[in-house]
Amino acid sequence: MSIGSISNISFRQASPFPMEKNQGYFMPMPQTVSPQEQIPQQAPQVIVVKETVEPQEEKKKKGGLRNTIAKIAKFFTTASEMTKASAKALWYGTTSGAATLAGFWALGAVPKQIKNKSFKKAFTEPLKSISTKGKVIAGLVALAVASVHIIKGVLRSNQRAANVEHQLDVEHVTP
């Protein structure tokens, strides 16, 4: 014996009072369609609605004195921070690259030249005695150190520009 569900059964109680129908208290029950009477549904149709975007007039920003002062202050803070960052990148990048080259020279080139019995050549031509791998690694170290200082400078510059905007109570403007 199989047990099935009957779709016509509803547990909602209909109002026995006909007066309530007129006053809007009675909500008619939805009509159900038996599975045999169902009409096969067609595939949903996609309707493409093209929205026309009207060009909106941009409001002209007030070029007040406060905005002008903020622009000038942001320019000088950005210029000073980027100058500092460039100088640090140049100095520390060069120093770290030279230190790496010196390490490769002292730990690789000098022992190799001593083994080849041309110790004088290690001092007269130090760059030729350093391996290509050492030169490449020294260049990458210098580049990495310089990049770190440039990125820190950009972030510090953005922070100082935002501080200027907050102090002068001006809108944030991205360049």
Q: Which 3 state secondary structure label does DSSP give 132?
A: helix
pLDDT at site 170: 84
pTM: 0.59
Tokens representing residue 155 in the block: 């972030």
Lowest mean pLDDT segment, chosen from 56-65, 78-87, 147-156: 56-65
Query: Is the sign of the CA dihedral 81, 83, 87, 93 positive or negative?
Result: positive
pLDDT per residue over 98-121, tens digit each?
Answer: 999 999 999 988 888 888 887 787
Give the residue from 88, 85, 135 showing the smallest Cα distance to 109. Answer: 135
What value does the mean pLDDT take over residues 45-56? 65
Q: What is the mean pLDDT of the chain?
A: 80
If one counts every other C-beta atom within 10 angstroms of the C-beta of residue 155, the result is 12
